[in-house]
Structure formats: structure tokens, C-alpha cells
Structure 1
Amino acid sequence: MGKKRAKGVTFISIFYLCTGILLFYFFLYIAITQRTFNFVHLAFATVATILGYFILKLKNWARVIAIMWTIITIFIGLLLIITEKINPIIPVTRTIPHLIIMYYLTRPKVKEQFK
């Protein structure tokens, strides 16, 4: 019998899978309508999808990369708030889920599931 997976881990993996799929289609739409393509966008979509799948499989390396990903995302969000002349609500709303994910994935009971 496989490892027992917490509902929070399942939710996070679904979050990453949906994010990856939505990003892929969003960037595909941009590539078609604006006739531009950016490999960075494709990389973000791919990483999010891979993280979602392997977090679902309880791979510890995926948990570690997800934590690093959230740190980078939080840093970028804070950087956007400080440097850009945009509404801070947008970066904050994108940063909050990543703070929650980082907090959850670093809890001892959750870390234990990935061993």
C-alpha cells in the first residue's frame, strides 16, 4: 500500500497542475495572437506542471523545488510592489498563495510524508 497523502498536499499539487496548464494555454494564446514566443513562459508552465505531478507522487525533491519556487515568486512579488507603479493588490494576491504553500510544505508532519 502506498503512502497516505494529506489533503493539503493533494490541493497544492492540483494548484500547480492547474497553474501549469493555464499558463501553457495563456502563453500559447499570446504566441498565436501576438506572434511572439518566449521560452521562459513555456519553462514556467512546464515547471509548474511537473511540480504538481511529482508533489502528488510525494517526491521530496519536488517539495524542495516548490519551496524554492515560492521563495522566488515571493521575491518577485515584493520587487514588483517596490519598483513598479502598479496596483500592489495584484502582486500581493499572487504572493499570498505561495506564502501559504511554503508554510505548509515546511511543516514537520507534511515533510514526513515526503520521506
Structure 2
Amino acid sequence: MAAQIPGPNDVIVVSGASGSHYLESLSLLDNLHNRLLPHLKNFTLLYFDLGLDPPHRQDIASICQCFLLDFPFQLIPDLVSLLKCYIWKPLIVSAASSVPSLSSG
């Protein structure tokens, strides 16, 4: 996943949601876009689609100033697909932190 992240970046903000957390995700994106990101200069916002419905994904794509990525469930053990176990969280953080410009500094 790290190969999909343009760089170098001083900060990478990572989030994502499935359909069950779509509304909370809209609030998060609003706060990020209006309160945090205006204060950052060299950043990338990554948003992982963990199972959004097509209309919700379309909404996120239209409002998010981010890279919208599909979470690669097909590449990892089935256990990770159990979203309520939150095993996917350290994986997306690890993917973002393995970007060479961040890990070499």
C-alpha cells in the first residue's frame, strides 16, 4: 500500500470506514478539512474504503481532499475482514509509516 502514497510527506493522516461508520466518517472529514489540514503544509490524507456502498464511496470521493484507496482484503488473512475486530487498523498505520520519506528521517 505504501507504494500508492505520493511523497515525501511530513504528515500522513490515515482514516477509513465501512458503510456502518459512513456518517461518523463525514464528520471526521469535515473536521479534518476545516480544522487540521489548513494548518499543515506537506501532508497526505489517506482514506481506506473498508466496504462503503457505491453511493457512499462516491460521496466520499467528491468531498474528500484525499487519496481514496480500497483496502486490500484479498491480500491478507480472512480474520482481518472481521471489521469489528479492528485488526485492519494497525495494518493501515503500518502501511503509511513504511513510506520511505517518513521512516528514514
* TM score, norm. by length of structure 2: 0.30
The structure that is strand-richer by fraction is 2
Structure number with higher helix proportion: 1
**Structure showing greater Rg:** 1
Comparing both chains, which one has the higher relative contact order based on Cα–Cα distances under 8 Å and sequence gaps of 6 or more? Answer: 2
Q: TM-score, normalised by structure 1?
A: 0.28
